[in-house]
Chains A and B, each alone.
Chain A
Amino acid sequence: MKKQLLIIPSILFLFILLTFFYLLTIERNPSELPSNLLDKKIPKFETESLLKNERFVSSKEFGKEIILVNFFATWCQPCRVEHTYITRFSNEKGIRIIGINYKDSPKKAVKWLSSLGNPYSDVPVDKDGRIAIDWGVYGIPETFVISSKGIIKYRHIGPVTGKIYKKINLLIKDIE
């Protein structure tokens, strides 16, 4: 009886080993955190628009169709990398994207958009980073998928890669 009980620690140890191995092999970024705003309404904001003369009012823009919100800046290198995918969302898929220009120089941003192409339907300006704090943003680029009811359905931290591009496209098919 006692000898049989001795097998329990080894089974436990094996279990721990397998758990660690599993966590090592799955693709996971431990510094990436789930958004606290998932399945909640978007934080309202009102600010000036980079390219238009009228003010950007979030309550007027959201809640009609699926919208992507992309936080970007010209000083952010990964933003340049993901730009091709952001452009593909608007050009190939016809999705409306709102690009929030985070703590940037308006002049540089206008230049950046005219040289790389502008995939955004509107570019609200977040001069002091307060809008980003309301959205729980901590490392740009960050991309949010907003449902047609104005609910945050998905958040991606870091540049949109090929894999994330596919993931977001699949997700958009599922939500309204």
Chain B
Amino acid sequence: MIKKNFIIIISICLVHFFSNNAQTVEPDEILKNQEQELRARNISKNIRCMVCQNQSIDESNAPLAKDLRILIREKIKAGKNNEEIYKFLTDRYGDFILLKPPFKLNTFALWFLPLIFFVIGIFIVFFHNKKSKQI
């Protein structure tokens, strides 16, 4: 009985896992040029859906996400490069629209504090061991 339930739960999880990977990009949005479409999808994966906030616009069904996906594709077709597209979006929505925080002066703490704490930790362990050896 338990085994049967277990199998059911696992299969539900698997179904969910695969359905999450289902495409939200609608057929009418897809560009004919495969290279351009791939670029659009890669950019979309890095752009936060401002409505759902923990999804990228590539995965989100929100109307604004769709609008932004189309906008990105239009910009690619118009010959804009990736930096120009990212700049267009951050100028309007701020750095928060990027799922990965950029490397900047005001994000210094965010990127380096873990490393600093790690180094402090090593020092503490090192000095602690030194002391206990003496005793």
Contact = CB atoms under 8 A, between A and B. Distances in A.
Answer yes or no: do A and B interact.
Answer: yes
A135 B94 contact: no
A36 B68 contact: no
Looking at chain A's contact residues, the main secondary structure is loop
Interface in B38-82: 50-51, 53, 63-64, 67-68, 71
B53 A133 contact: no
Contacts of B94: 33-36, 136
B53 A128 contact: no
Interface residues of A, number: 17
A112 to B, nearest CB: 19
A136 B92 contact: yes
**Chain B interface, >50% SS class:** helix
Contacts of B90: 36
Contacts of A37: 92
Interface in A11-49: 31, 33-37, 43
A158 interface: no
B50 A138 contact: yes
Q: Which 4 A-B pairs have the closest CB atoms?
A: A138-B50, A36-B94, A136-B92, A136-B93
A169 B51 CA distance: 28
Interface of B: 50-51, 53, 63-64, 67-68, 71, 90-94, 96
A36 B91 contact: yes
17 contacts: A33-B50, A36-B92, A36-B93, A37-B92, A43-B92, A129-B63, A129-B64, A129-B67, A130-B67, A133-B67, A133-B71, A133-B92, A136-B93, A138-B50, A138-B51, A138-B93, A139-B50
Nearest to A37: B92
A134 interface: yes
A33 B93 CA distance: 9
Nearest to B95: A36
B17 to A, nearest CB: 27
B77 to A, nearest CB: 16
Given A34-B94, A36-B92, A138 B67 contact: no
Contacts of B93: 36, 136, 138
Give the residue among A35, A128, A130, A136 with the most B Cβ atoms within 10 A.
A136
Interface in A118-136: 128-130, 133-136
